[in-house]
Amino acid sequence: MPIYKNNMKFHVVTLFPESFSSYLNESILARAQKNKLIDFKFYNPRDFVKPTKVQTKKDKPYLRVDEKPYGGGPGMLIQAEPMLKALTFIKNKIEKNKKANKIKIIHLSPSGKKFTNTYAAGVTKKFDHVIIVCGRYEGIDARVKKIFKGDGLSIGDYVLTGGELAALVMIDTISRQVKGVLGNHDSVEEMRNASPDVYTRPEILVFNGKKYKVPTVLLSGNHAKIEEWRAKQAKSSNL
Ligand code: SAH
């Protein structure tokens, strides 16, 4: 077994850290963690606030992180302070480590710049730590992104209830670009001609009485021809 270095560390600021584990601890990402290629840490802004004062004996103290928006409007916002405390904690922890510590901060937002595969590859190349800030409700007090500068990014033109799914999409895509995470680094699309249509056994599939055949070129054993076919297919895809 080759010895890998820890190539990418993800630090996620989220009110719902438990929502990540089932996805990250399966399959390729689970193996990559075991091989120390990627690493995840979660920080809950709630852990950085003091409990609210109780008014009556019946009230339970509550770790409050949200408040109404100035200027009115629906919903609640996550306050700046708990976020700033969490981010300060993460940065201090990283900077204590004398080793490589190039940090990229990502602020998730439906109105951010579109996250792409090219962006993911660039992050993998240039940074050792990625801090992802997940919002909830109507978002986060804007002063957080002013103080901790980073990239405002969206995964698509739709609005999610929180940043956790978007963070998972980015973690998955960035991890895939870390050397050694995919069994064979050639699996990364941009390193080869990746056809959008792929086939495996059986050679002839019968479904509801109809036969579906694998394209004959893939069975030819002629690698030049196969590559040519795949290149043509790849051209018609967006990747
Ligand atoms: N009213 C807010 C929407 C907040 S959605 C606005 O217009 O900006 C709540 C949180 O979910 C956001 O703070 C962000 O962290 C996350 N989120 C929602 N949709 C997203 C998307 N398409 N890409 C990335 N993050 C998103």
pTM of the complete model: 0.92
- Burial class of residue 189 (count of CB atoms within 10 Å of its CB; 0-12, 13-18, 19+): middle
From ligand 1's centre to the CA of 145, what distance in Å? 14
- CA-nearest residue for atom 23, ligand 1, is 154
Q: Note the pLDDT tens digit of each residue in 212-238.
A: 999 999 999 999 999 999 999 988 876
Predicted confidence (pLDDT) at residue 183 exceeds the cutoff of 90: no
- Quick check: 88 and 55 in contact, CB under 8 A? no
Instruction: Report pLDDT for 239.
Output: 56
- CA-nearest residue for atom 16, ligand 1, is 163
**Most informative mutation of 19, 68, 77, 109 for ligand 1 (most atoms within 8 A of CB):** 109
Atom from ligand 1 closest to the CA of residue 154: 23
Predicted confidence (pLDDT) at residue 182 exceeds the cutoff of 70: yes
Instruction: Report pLDDT for 10.
Output: 98
Residues lining ligand 1, CB < 6 A?
Answer: 108-111, 134-136, 138-140, 154-156, 158-160, 162-163, 166
Atom from ligand 1 closest to the CA of residue 111: 8
Rounded to an integer, the average pLDDT of 1-21 is: 84
Q: Give the span between the Cα atoms of 140 and 181, in whole angstroms.
A: 33
Atom from ligand 1 closest to the CA of residue 158: 22
- Burial class of residue 65 (count of CB atoms within 10 Å of its CB; 0-12, 13-18, 19+): buried
From ligand 1's centre to the CA of 136, what distance in Å? 7
| Alpha-carbon distances, residue 76 vs 13, 72, 108, 147 (angstroms) | 18, 10, 17, 21
Instruction: Report pLDDT for 61.
Output: 81
Predicted confidence (pLDDT) at residue 29 exceeds the cutoff of 80: yes
Atom from ligand 1 closest to the CA of residue 153: 24
